[in-house]
Amino acid sequence: MPDISSIPVVKKALNGYVGFHNLPNQVHKKSVKKGFQFTLMVVGESGLGKSTLVNTLFNASLYPNKENREPTLDSPKTVEIQTISADIEENGVKLKLNVIDTPGFGDFVNNEESWKPILENIESRYDSYLEQESRVNRKKLVDTRVHACIYFIAPTGHSLKPLDIEFMKRLAHCVNLIPVIAKSDTLTEDEISAFKSRIMEDIAFHKISIYQPLTYENDDPETLQEHKDIVSKIPFAVVGSDREVDSNGTKVRGRKYPWGVINVDDESHCDFVKLRQMLVRTHMEELKEHTIEVLYETYRAKKLIASGLTETIHSTANPLSRFEDERAAHEQKMSKMEAEMKAVFQQKVAEKESKLKASEDE
């Protein structure tokens, strides 16, 4: 069989209108009709504003109002996993959003393995999808894989804590990590700049892989500049607020202080706009593709190799011959079972005859 990849491609000019330039429009219509789905995980210590930032990102009250509860002796001993699902719509485009929260992370005296329940949850979602792929009927696959994880770093102004480093090292191979500096309005501009540099130095030193937008050969100058602007802001110094405050007679989303107003939608105040731009407006589909084509495929290959199914990954055998082999193996198995059942039956008959003979002798 000839190698298709080695056949030279000859460009041909059209003699008239054909119409396949409408393919992008067809894909667009189909996608809008079907709707989109995105799963976001947020991880960080309590009090860093995770729920507020999510509400701010999607401009909706996704999180229910939290009740102020007094501390009790029955507080959870491990990290919990909570999922909030919402169907939201904007200009006719529907998005099914799943937000996975991890209350309890980093809140214990011993946080040595706080990352473990989170990693297990991500991998269990991969396992669930892998199990669905192995079924005979794969028409309705339910995809709950995590497409992005926003990791909240406390605004200490120093460097990454051991828990931060351990968490990101453990999860970088299976999820798109997006580090953010929470409540950055507690730091000055110089402190934020120095803190970002130390965080990136720690990430490079420990060889932690975080998500960064990719560039392509056919990207226009505007897209390339947009990419550079986003990358230059990582880790994003963010402030979240789902309430409007008055700023010189104008209502803005932000926080009001005695010295002034923080406007979360003002790029000169924080990096919230760049985070939203990358996560929602420009790279949401790329985050999903990287999860599906790189992170999940890597996990799937390791899982199949560990299960002794390497032949399933690289098999190029003729389907008909593989079917014949499976049928022969099945027939051999059935013959073995039949022989075992026959032996058991003969043993039972011999025992019965022996008992009858003993009764006759008595």
- pLDDT tens profile 83-102: 999 999 998 899 999 999 99
| Residues 179-229: tens digit of each pLDDT | 999 999 899 999 999 999 999 999 999 999 999 888 777 778 888 888 889
Buried b / exposed e along 85-111 (16+ C-beta atoms within 10 A): eeeeeeeeeebebbbbbbebbbeeeeb
Alpha-carbon gap, residue 269 to 288, rounded angstroms: 29
Cβ-in-10-Å burial (0-12, 13-18, 19+) of 43 comes to: buried
Per-residue pLDDT tens over the stretch 135-156: 878 778 888 999 999 999 999 8
**Helix runs in the chain, H state only:** 23-34, 50-58, 115-133, 162-171, 189-205, 221-232, 272-276, 284-290, 297-306, 310-314, 319-361
Mean pLDDT for 308-312 is 55
Query: Residue 280: which of 98, 90, 60, 57 has the closest Cα?
Result: 57
Q: Give the whole-angstrom CA distance, residue 279 versus residue 105.
A: 23
Q: CA 11, CA 31: separation in Å to the nearest integer?
A: 30
pLDDT of residue 18: 82
Rg of the chain (C-alpha set)? 29
Strands 93-101 and 236-237: unpaired
Structure tokens, 324: 């014949």
* Global confidence as pTM: 0.77
Mean per-residue pLDDT of the chain = 85
The band of 316, judged by pLDDT with boundaries at 50, 70 and 90, is very low
Question: Is 82:101 a contact under the CB 8 Å cutoff?
Answer: yes
Q: What are the angstrom distances between the C-alpha of 159 and each of 204, 234, 239, 342, 361?
A: 13, 15, 19, 73, 93
3-state helix, strand, coil in the chain (%, to 5): 45, 15, 40
**Would you state the structure tokens that stand for residue 110, as one six-digit string?**
């011993």
Q: Characterize the bridge pairing of strands 148-153 and 93-101.
A: unpaired
